[in-house]
Chain A
Amino acid sequence: MLVDGRFDYLERLRYYVGVATAPVQYMANLPSLASSTTLDLFNSRSELVELREELLMQQYRLQQLDHLSAENARLNALLRSAAKVDDEVMRTQLIGESPDPFVKRILIDKGARDGVTVGLPVLDALGLMGQVVEVEPFNSWVLLITDPQHATPVELERNGVRGIAAGTRDTAQQLILNNIPNGEDVQVGDMLVTSGIGGRFPPGYPVGMVTSVRQDPSRPFADVQATPTAEISRSRNLLLVFVRERSEPVAAAPPPRENADG
Chain B
Amino acid sequence: MVEVGAKEELSGAWVILVSVVLGALLSIMPLPLDYEAWRPKWMILVLIYWAIALPHRMGLFTIWALGVFTDVLEGTLLGLNAFMFALAAYVALTLYQRLRMFTLVQQSFLVLMLVGVQQLLAFWILFMAGRNTATDFSFLYPALSSALLWPVVYVLLRSWRRGYLVT
Contacts and interface: CB of A to CB of B under 8 A. Distances in A.
Contact of A105 (B37, B69, B75, B80): B75
B78 A10 contact: yes
Interface string B59-83: 0000000001101111111111001
B135 A169 contact: yes
Nearest to B35: A101
B74 A18 contact: no
B132 A21 contact: no
Interface residues of B, number: 33
B158 interface: no
B74 A98 contact: yes
Interface stretch (B1-9, B22-30, B91-99, B109-117): B22-30
Contacts of A25: 28, 73
Contacts of B78: 1, 4, 10, 13-14
A101 B133 CA distance: 8
A107 interface: yes
Contacts of B30: 28-29, 32, 96-97
Contacts of A170: 135
A1 B132 contact: no
B72 A17 contact: yes
B39 A99 contact: yes
Contacts of B29: 28, 31
Interface SS of A by simple majority:
mixed
Contact of A24 (B24, B71, B83, B135): B24
Q: Select the residue from B25, B27, B39, B75 with max chain A CB neighbours within 10 A.
A: B75
A103 B125 contact: no
A102 B28 contact: no
A169 to B, nearest CB: 6
Contact of B75 (A3, A141, A167, A171): A141
A15 B28 CA distance: 19
B163 interface: no
Interface in A95-151: 96-105, 107, 134, 136, 141, 147-149
Contacts of A141: 75
A107 B80 contact: no
A5 interface: yes
B28 A1 contact: no
Interface residues of A, number: 40
Given A1-B125, A4-B77, A24 B25 contact: yes
A109 to B, nearest CB: 14
A8 B21 CA distance: 28
B33 A171 contact: yes
Contacts of A171: 33
B129 A17 contact: no
A27 B131 contact: no
A257 to B, nearest CB: 41
Interface of A: 1, 3-5, 10, 13-14, 17-18, 20-21, 24-25, 27-29, 31-32, 96-105, 107, 134, 136, 141, 147-149, 167, 169-171, 233
Given A98-B75, A103-B75, 8 more contacts: A4-B78, A14-B78, A20-B69, A24-B24, A103-B132, A136-B72, A147-B132, A170-B135
Interface of B: 21, 24-25, 27-31, 33, 36-37, 39, 68-69, 71-80, 83, 125, 129-135
